[in-house]
């Protein structure tokens, strides 16, 4: 199933069209899911995986700043949506 989905994004050079956008959407889905099930600490795994994948690029200060702002903003938006959803659904124990 994953191969079928990715096939439409494959480029001749082996890369993927809009890979960053796809990663961002998946990141927010994972973060939202983790917040909804109360696994806040697991969000660090997403940040860590992205940082490992971008390790060489993070040596550039400009890229590192861009990366951190984008990743933190993305995670924050997903977390806030998850927290709001939990509150609306009556999640009394918000952080547990």
Q: Does residue 74 form part of some domain?
A: yes
Q: Does residue 95 form part of some domain?
A: no
Q: pLDDT (tens digit, 9 = 90+) per residue, 28-39?
A: 999 999 999 999
Q: pLDDT (tens digit, 9 = 90+) per residue, 38-93?
A: 999 999 999 899 889 888 999 999 999 999 999 999 999 999 999 999 999 886 56
Q: Does residue 37 form part of some domain?
A: yes
Q: Could you tell me the residue range of the domain that residue 56 belongs to?
A: 18-88
Question: How many domains would you assign to the chain?
Answer: 1
Angle in degrees, CA 79, 54, 15, rounded to 5: 100
Q: Does residue 7 form part of some domain?
A: no
The whole-number average pLDDT for the span 4-13 is 75
**pLDDT of residue 20 exceeding 90:** no
Q: Does residue 13 form part of some domain?
A: no
Q: Does residue 52 form part of some domain?
A: yes
The whole-number average pLDDT for the span 6-14 is 74
| Burial class for 89, CB neighbours closer than 10 Å (0-12, 13-18, 19+) | exposed
Model's pTM, two decimal places?
Answer: 0.79
């Amino acid at each position: 199933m994953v191969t079928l989905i990715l096939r439409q994004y494959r480029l001749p050079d082996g890369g993927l069209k809009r890979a960053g956008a796809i990663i961002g959407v998946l990141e927010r889905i994972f973060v939202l899911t983790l917040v909804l099930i109360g696994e806040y600490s697991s969000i660090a795994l997403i940040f860590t995986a992205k940082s490992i994948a971008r390790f060489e690029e993070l040596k550039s200060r400009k890229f590192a700043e861009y990366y951190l702002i984008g990743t933190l903003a993305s995670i924050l938006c997903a977390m806030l949506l998850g927290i709001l959803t939990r509150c609306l659904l009556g999640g009394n124990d918000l952080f547990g």
